[in-house]
Amino acid sequence: MHPVRVASLVVLAAALLPQSALISATEPVPYPKPLQTITARGVSVVRTFPAESGLTGWVIKRDNRQMIVYTTSDKQHLLVGELLDDSGHDLTARYASMYVLKPDVDSLYNQLEKANYISDGAASAKSTVYVFMDPNCVFCHFAWLALRPYVKAGVQVRWIPVNVVKPSSALRAAAILTAQSPFKALEYNEGHFALSSEDGGISPAIKVAPAIMSSLTANRSLMDAFGVNGTPAFVWKSADGKVQAKAGMPPLSELPAITSLPEQPEPDHELDRFR
C-alpha cells in the first residue's frame, strides 16, 4: 500500500507546524500556544483527553483528516507521532480507536457517485466496487491486475484518481481523465506500468487544468473522509448492505467478499505475493 504521505503523522505535522510552533510563549490562552498556532493555519480541535505520563491528547482535524497530537504538562510543547509504552504498545493507535470520530460511511457512499471516476466493466454489473487509485501507485497496479478476472465475471470497478504518490501523479491523472476514452487511457497506464521505477505508463499531461485539479482535490477529500490512509483504497457494500472501506492491496482471498462474486482464477504471477 502506498500511504498518503501528507496524511502521515510526521509529514502532516511538518506541513502545519512551523519550527517556532514547537516552543511557545507563556501567555494564558484557551488552548496551549502550539495548538493556537496550528488552529490559525486552518486546523480545528475535535476533542481532548488525558494521556499517559501527564500528557494531554488532542484530536485535530484538517480537510477531513484527523490525527492525534499531544501537549506536554507545561503546555509549552506539542508532540507528534506514535506514543509507545514501556512494552512497545502503540498508545496512539489505542487512543485513536477511542477518541477519533468514525466517518458516516453511509452518507459518504452516496457521494461516490458524484466523484470523477473511470468506469471499468459493464453498466449492468452484478456489483460495484469503488477504488481510489494513484496512476503511479504500484499497489494500485496490482489491484488493477487482480480485478481483471472479476470485471470479466460481472463486477464494475469505478476507479477514482487521486494524486498522492509523486509530483507526476496529478499530471498522469489529468492525462487519463481528459483522454478521449479515459478507460483506454487508464488501461494503457496499467498495461505499460514500469514496476522498476513505479511509474504509470501514460505520458504525463503538460499541465493540469483547474477543473481537473479541482476534481482531484475533491476525490482526495472524499478518500480522506472515509478514513483510509493510502492507495489503493477500496469502498464497497458487503452482502448485508453495509458500507466497507479498506486501504491497501488486499489478499486475493478477500476479493470475493469485496466484489460479491465467486473466487476467480488469478493466473498472473505478479500477484503471487498476495496469494
**What tens digit of pLDDT does each residue of 124-152 get?**
888 999 999 999 999 999 999 999 999 99
Q: 271-274 — which CB contacts under 8 Å span 24+ positions?
A: 271/142, 271/145, 271/146, 274/142, 274/146, 274/249, 274/250
How large is the angle between the packed helices 182-191 and 138-153, nearest 10 degrees? 120
pLDDT confidence tier of residue 266, bands split at 50, 70 and 90: very high
Give the pLDDT score at 152. 95
Of the candidates 77, 101, 125, which is a domain's last residue?
Answer: 101
**What tens digit of pLDDT does each residue of 63-78 get?**
667 788 999 999 999 9
Q: Kindly state whether residues 130 and 231 are assigned to the same domain.
A: yes
Please check the confidence at residue 20 and state whether its pLDDT lies above 50: no
pLDDT confidence tier of residue 2, bands split at 50, 70 and 90: low
pTM score above 0.75: no
Mean pLDDT for all residues in the chain: 87
Identify which has the larger pLDDT, 258 or 40.
Answer: 258
Q: Kindly state whether residues 267 and 152 are assigned to the same domain.
A: yes
Contact residues for 94 (Cβ-Cβ < 8 A; gap 6+)? none
Q: Kindly state whether residues 73 and 120 are assigned to the same domain.
A: no
Give the pLDDT score at 19. 42
**What tens digit of pLDDT does each residue of 180-225 get?**
999 999 999 999 999 999 999 999 999 999 999 999 999 998 998 8
Of the candidates 101, 128, 145, which is a domain's last residue?
Answer: 101
Mean pLDDT of the region 159-166: 95
Q: Kindly state whether residues 242 and 265 are assigned to the same domain.
A: yes
Identify which has the larger pLDDT, 131 or 10.
Answer: 131
Domain with residue 9: its CATH number is: 3.10.450.70
Of the candidates 52, 74, 101, which is a domain's last residue?
Answer: 101
Q: Kindly state whether residues 95 and 124 are assigned to the same domain.
A: no
Please check the confidence at residue 85 and state whether its pLDDT lies above 70: yes
Give the pLDDT score at 87. 87
Please check the confidence at residue 100 and state whether its pLDDT lies above 90: no
Please check the confidence at residue 105 and state whether its pLDDT lies above 90: no
Structural domain that includes position 84: 2-101
Q: Kindly state whether residues 73 and 171 are assigned to the same domain.
A: no
pLDDT confidence tier of residue 10, bands split at 50, 70 and 90: very low
**Helix, strand, coil shares of the chain as percentages rounded to 5?**
40, 20, 40
Give the pLDDT score at 5. 44
Give the pLDDT score at 118. 97
Please count the structural domains in the chain. Answer: 2
Q: Calculate the CA 104 to chain-centre distance.
A: 16
Q: Identify whether the C-beta of residue 137 lies closer than 8 Å to the C-beta of residue 4.
A: no
